Amino acid sequence: MSSAAASSETRDPSPTPHDETPSEALPPPMRMPSLDGRRFVMTASTTSAVDPDSPSEFTYFERDGVIWGDYWGDTVTFGRHVGVREGDVIRLSFVHVLAADGTVVRGEGESTIERGEDGRLELAERYEMHGAPQESRCVEVLPAP
């Protein structure tokens, strides 16, 4: 075999564009709209009974995949949350002060953004509190007409 034939059979070991793989997968697409500037009230919780006359109220802000906001009412004096959104799932860290005794509670949770039968956004929340898994549901408060 000639040296020219041998060199033509040798493959260049440097990667080509089709050989490259992305280092991170793309986040899932968002089907639900941004949470920026939206308010929600808690309607159900496994942690405690929800006071229908004074439920916990949450504000959300969103920019470039970052979520933040605050909350108050019912069993909470005040609280803050911060996290990320990937598709229609948000992952948050939170801290709040209990109204009953001033205890500071912190934790992490995950919420799925859904659309309710009435068209409002809803948050199906899963988190751990008091050493046990918990769930709650929050519904969007629509602006007054």
Please give the angle made by the CA atoms of 26, 88 and 58, to the nearest 5 degrees: 135
Query: Could you say which residues of the chain have pLDDT below 50?
Result: 2-4, 6-8, 14-21
Check residue 120 and give its pLDDT: 96
The CATH number of 38-139 is which of 3.40.190.80, 2.40.128.20, 3.30.1330.120, 3.30.2130.10? 2.40.128.20
Radius of gyration of the chain (CA): 24
Domain boundaries, the chain: 38-139
143: tokens are: 């602006």
- The pTM is what? 0.78
